[in-house]
Amino acid sequence: MSQIASQPLHDGRSQLSESERSRLWPVLDELSDPEIPVVTLREMGIVRDLRRGADGVLEVVITPTYSGCPAMEQIHDDIVARLAREGVAARVVTQLAPAWTTDWMTPAAHEKLRAYGIAPPQCGSAQAGEAVIRFAPRKGAGGAGGTRAAASKDAESALPAVPCPQCGSTHTTETSHFGSTACKALYRCLDCLEPFDYFKPH
């Protein structure tokens, strides 16, 4: 997958041969995200690279979607167990930098999320090669609570509309900034009235 780029190696580690990668990637492609079983770890951009450690042991590099993600221990165990069934001893290396971003999710992941009932992220942290910075209004700006409320409403309206994964309507509203997991927000469609999770971009 093109979004996975091998990192420069140091301390005696080395890249795998093309034949090794061709054999091992399909095995890892069978593993799904424990919290979203319709999407694979590689489609999510969680599994980042395969390499050989200085001691010759296979290393699988993963990056969590956010710090403290409770699924990472399960992901670790799934990777080690799946490779062990192939007769491959491996260890999982967690890499925190660069931080995971929804830009790493593949188009297939977006479509699978939508079909599963989760609205995929509408934009990423590096869309069009630029970082987006939003400034909050100055405390006390305008001297009235109503003005601050209006500014907050304007900021919300500037965000991209989140289409309902059930009916496709963009007439939706956020009901909670945190949904079933910390990386998702809870939305409700004002047309079909169905609640749904939205995978927050970051």
How confident is the model over 3-25, as pLDDT tens digits? 444 455 556 778 999 999 999 99
pLDDT, residue 181, reads 85
Tens-place pLDDT, residues 21-55: 999 999 999 999 999 999 999 999 999 999 999 99
- Tell me, yes or no, whether 7 lies in a domain: no
pLDDT, residue 101, reads 95
pLDDT, residue 182, reads 84
Tens-place pLDDT, residues 143-164: 455 554 554 455 455 567 899 9
Tens-place pLDDT, residues 71-108: 999 999 999 999 999 999 999 999 999 999 999 999 99
- Do 24 and 90 lie in one domain? The reply is yes
pLDDT, residue 126, reads 41
How many separate domains does the chain show? 2
Q: Given its phi and psi angles, is residue 30 left (phi above 0), alpha (psi -120 to 50 degrees) or beta?
A: alpha
- Do 98 and 122 lie in one domain? The reply is no
- Do 39 and 95 lie in one domain? The reply is yes
Q: Which helix (H) or strand (E) holds 22?
A: helix 18-28
Tens-place pLDDT, residues 55-75: 999 999 999 998 888 899 999
- Full residue range of the structural domain in which residue 56 is found: 14-102
Domain limit, last residue, from 102, 127, 155: 102
- Do 89 and 129 lie in one domain? The reply is no
Contact between residue 83 and residue 26 where contact means Cβ atoms under 8 Å apart: no
- Tell me, yes or no, whether 182 lies in a domain: yes
- Do 28 and 82 lie in one domain? The reply is yes
- Do 47 and 90 lie in one domain? The reply is yes
Inform me whether the pLDDT recorded for 174 exceeds 60. yes
pLDDT, residue 147, reads 52
Q: Which helix (H) or strand (E) holds 153?
A: helix 145-157
**Separation between Cα atoms, residue 87 and residue 91, nearest integer Å:** 13
- Do 137 and 78 lie in one domain? The reply is no
- Do 45 and 89 lie in one domain? The reply is yes
- Tell me, yes or no, whether 112 lies in a domain: no
- Tell me, yes or no, whether 30 lies in a domain: yes
Report pTM: 0.76
- Tell me, yes or no, whether 1 lies in a domain: no
